[in-house]
C-alpha cells in the first residue's frame, strides 16, 4: 500500500494534494523528494517527515501523522472514481463524469 500514489501530487489523505497546500517550499520543509510515493515517506512503521515542531504547516503535519501508515499487509492501493457525493466505484463513465461537472440549467423553449 502507498506505492501507487505520489506523496505530493495525489489526494491520498482526503484533503487535497499536498503540493497545493505547501507549494514547492513544502518539499524542502518536509524533506520528501518531489517524485516520492506515499510509502517513501515511511520508515520503520512511522511517518518520516521533517519539520514536526515547525510553525509552518502545523495542521498539515497533524493530518499526515493521523493518516494510516501504508503497510504492505493492508493490501495494494486502489483508485476509486466518485460517482456521487459519498459513492465511489473502481470505474467511471464519461457521460456520468460530464453530468457531475456541468452546470444544469432549465430548458429554454
pLDDT in the model for residue 73:
59
Per-residue cell: 71: 503497510
In the chain, domain spans? 18-74
SS3 38: helix
Per-residue pLDDT in tens (0 to 9) along the chain, 109 residues:
567 888 999 888 777 889 998 998 888 889 999 999 988 999 888 888 887 777 888 888 888 888 888 766 555 656 677 777 677 777 778 887 787 788 888 888 8
| 47, β-bridge pairs | 42
Give the integer Cα–Cα distance in Å for 109 and 107. 6
CB distance 79 to 12 below 8 Å: no
Q: How many CB atoms lie within 10 A of CB 61?
A: 19
pLDDT in the model for residue 36:
92
Amino acid at each position: 500500500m502507498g506505492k501507487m500514489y505520489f506523496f505530493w501530487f495525489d489526494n491520498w489523505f482526503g484533503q487535497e494534494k499536498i503540493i497545493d497546500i505547501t507549494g514547492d517550499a513544502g518539499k524542502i520543509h518536509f524533506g520528501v523528494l518531489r517524485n516520492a510515493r506515499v510509502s517513501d515517506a515511511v520508515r520503520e512503521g512511522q511517518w518520516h517527515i521533517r519539520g514536526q515542531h515547525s510553525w509552518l504547516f502545523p495542521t498539515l503535519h497533524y493530518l499526515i501523522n493521523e493518516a494510516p501508515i501504508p503497510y504492505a499487509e493492508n493490501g495494494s492501493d486502489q483508485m476509486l472514481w466518485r460517482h456521487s457525493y459519498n459513492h465511489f466505484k473502481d470505474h467511471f463513465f464519461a457521460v456520468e463524469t460530464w453530468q457531475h461537472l456541468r452546470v444544469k440549467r432549465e430548458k429554454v423553449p
